[in-house]
Each structure stands twice: as C-alpha cells, then as structure tokens.
C-alpha cells in the first residue's frame, strides 16, 4: 500500500485524492511505517463485508488481472502492479507501483500474502462443507430422538385395538345360505347347516341353515347371561350415583371415577361412572413421559 500511495516527496495523491502531509513521505523502511500509519485511517470500511471463499477468490482474481495491466514493454518479463513505464519501482521517479519477484518455473506467483489468502479460501470452503454435513447429522439426530420419544410414549400409553364393526345379521344369514347350498349330500351338510328331508320328493331335499331359534338354543343361554351380567358389573353398576362411583376404592386405589370417556369408550363427551384405573395409569404415564423427554432436550 505504501508503494502505491506514497513517494519520496510526500506529495502523492494517487490513493487519497489530495496530499496529506509530509508523513506520506516514503524513502526507506523507517519512513514506510510512518506513511502506512498515515494512510490507514483513510481506507474505507464496510461493516457488512465478511471474509468468505467467494469474496477472497474474487479479490485474488482481480489482483492477478491487474498485474502487467499497463502493457508496457518493460512489463513483459516483470510482475509489476500499476503502470510505471519501467522494469523497476521506487519511491522516486518510478513511484506508484509494486515490483514483485519473478515467477518461477512452477508458474506460482511467490507472494506470501497471496498464498495465505488462497489457504484461507480453501479452509473456508472446507468449513462450509463441514457445516452442511453437521446440519444433516443434526436433523437426523432430531428425527431419531422424536421417533424414540414417540415409541416410548406409545409403549407407556398404547391405544386400544379398534374392533371391526359387527356384520349385519341379514348379510351373515345370506352368506350362510350360500355356504350351505354348496353341500349336495346329507353327509357333507354339517353345522351350522342341516339337511332338509322331503319324504315325498327326494329331489327337493337340500342343505340349508338351521332355524335362528335353533342356533340360539345350540349356542346356549350362557352368552345372554354373560351379557346381562356385564351390564350390572364393573363401574356401570353405580349408574347415576356419582358419590357411590367416587367412593368405589380398594385401599388407595381408585376403582371407579366420574369423568368423560377416552378413546373407544361409549359416550365420550358424557360424564359417567367409568374405570378409574385408566385415569391413574394415564397420569403416571404422562408424568414419566415428561421426564423421559427432558433427557433429550
């Protein structure tokens, strides 16, 4: 910067637009320090400008394009920055330029600060790639964590199985009739079908479903008894007696509770006497779930 912006007379205006003072005099290494300190405050600044691989590469490209820009014959074999009509630069007659070392056979310009900039650009590029990989790993870790937490919650508080809707009676009867008609002999006609004998006309004999009343008798009355018992058993036996429902306990364990339904229970929005153990289990599960989630976050 001193080579481009100062000279031996201290009157250069090439960088500042107007002469500063004698501090801009450059004649040797000692005066170079004074000249640099005088030039530094004049350099414009940009708060938004940050070093990155693209900005560094752009600066290097611009610098290399500026070398030998004067197209002077003296520059044919010299790495000269700016347009001095000489094969050398000094702070006197040949001022306002920089003469760099000759380019070796490798073709790499032997400028130390340029090498440092190229190294910085490469490291910034590598850092950007590593940050992208880290972001991907972070997203995968979050996804695995969420899946683990959800699996734990599902294990602690499983959803009840959804029962298939009951098949209409008429459809079941029709299916049974079709199945029974497939049997063409009395030997093959078995439960829940029966062989309809015709004494007068054997050709009209066929395999058909048993009468509905017979099926009920065959199944026995145990099912009906169990159904009636289910109505009067459990928390439903308290009916609309809220106090009796809430007092149904075994020690500290709440057998029944007066609350709205959950999942597949009947009348979800209606408050009635229901199984109290579900309420206790859900509260415990939610409490443990919250503690488990804290381990991840």
Query: Which two tokens mark 207?
Result: 């395999």
Q: How far apart are the first and last CA of the chain?
A: 53
Confidence at 91, pLDDT banded by 50, 70, 90: low
Q: What DSSP state is assigned to residue 199?
A: S
Could you state, in order of their start, the residue ranges of all structural domains in the chain? 45-119, 172-218, 238-297
The Cα–Cα gap between 68 and 203 comes to 117
Q: What integer best gives the mean pLDDT of the chain?
A: 75
The Cα–Cα gap between 274 and 265 comes to 9
Nearest one of 91, 78, 87 to 29, comparing CA atoms = 91
| Residue 264: per-residue pLDDT | 63
When pLDDT is averaged across residues 238-266 and rounded to a whole number, the result is 81
- Give SS3 for 272: strand
pLDDT at 31 over 60: yes
The Cα–Cα gap between 278 and 41 comes to 76
Q: Report whether 58 contacts 43 (CB < 8 A).
A: no
- Residue 140 CB neighbour total at 10 angstroms: 10
pLDDT tens for 36-89 read 988 888 887 776 677 889 999 999 888 888 776 655 666 566 777 776 666 667
pLDDT tens for 166-211 read 655 555 555 577 778 887 788 888 888 888 887 677 777 888 887 7
For the question of whether the overall pTM of this predicted structure is more than 0.75, the answer is: no
Q: Which helix (H) or strand (E) holds 100?
A: strand 98-100
Q: Report whether 180 contacts 215 (CB < 8 A).
A: no
Q: Which helix (H) or strand (E) holds 258?
A: strand 256-259
């Amino acid at each position: 910067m001193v080579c481009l912006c100062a000279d031996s007379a201290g009157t250069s205006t090439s960088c500042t637009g107007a002469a500063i003072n004698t501090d801009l005099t450059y004649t040797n290494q000692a005066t170079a320090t004074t000249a640099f300190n005088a030039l530094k405050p004049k350099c414009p600044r940009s708060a938004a400008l940050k070093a990155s691989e693209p900005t560094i590469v752009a600066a290097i490209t611009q610098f290399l394009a500026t070398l030998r820009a004067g197209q002077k014959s003296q520059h044919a074999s010299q790495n000269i920055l700016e347009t001095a009509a000489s094969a050398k630069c000094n702070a006197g007659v040949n001022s306002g330029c920089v003469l760099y070392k000759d380019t070796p056979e490798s073709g790499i310009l032997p400028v130390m600060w340029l090498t440092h900039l190229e190294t910085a650009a490469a490291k910034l590029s590598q850092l950007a790639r590593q940050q992208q990989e880290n972001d991907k790993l972070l997203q995968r870790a979050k996804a695995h964590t969420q899946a683990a937490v959800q699996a734990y919650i599902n294990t602690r508080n499983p959803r009840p199985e959804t029962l298939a809707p009951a098949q209409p009676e008429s459809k079941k009867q029709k299916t049974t009739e079709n199945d029974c008609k497939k049997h063409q002999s009395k030997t093959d006609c078995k439960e829940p079908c029966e062989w309809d004998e015709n004494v007068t006309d054997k050709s009209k004999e066929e395999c058909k479903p048993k009468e509905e009343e017979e099926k009920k008798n065959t199944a026995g009355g145990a099912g009906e008894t169990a159904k009636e018992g289910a109505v009067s058993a459990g928390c439903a036996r308290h009916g609309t007696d809220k106090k009796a429902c809430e007092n149904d306990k075994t020690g500290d364990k709440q057998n029944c509770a007066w609350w709205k339904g959950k999942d597949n229970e009947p009348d979800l929005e209606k408050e009635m006497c229901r199984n109290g153990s579900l309420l206790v289990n859900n509260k415990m599960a939610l409490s443990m779930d919250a503690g488990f989630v804290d381990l991840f976050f």
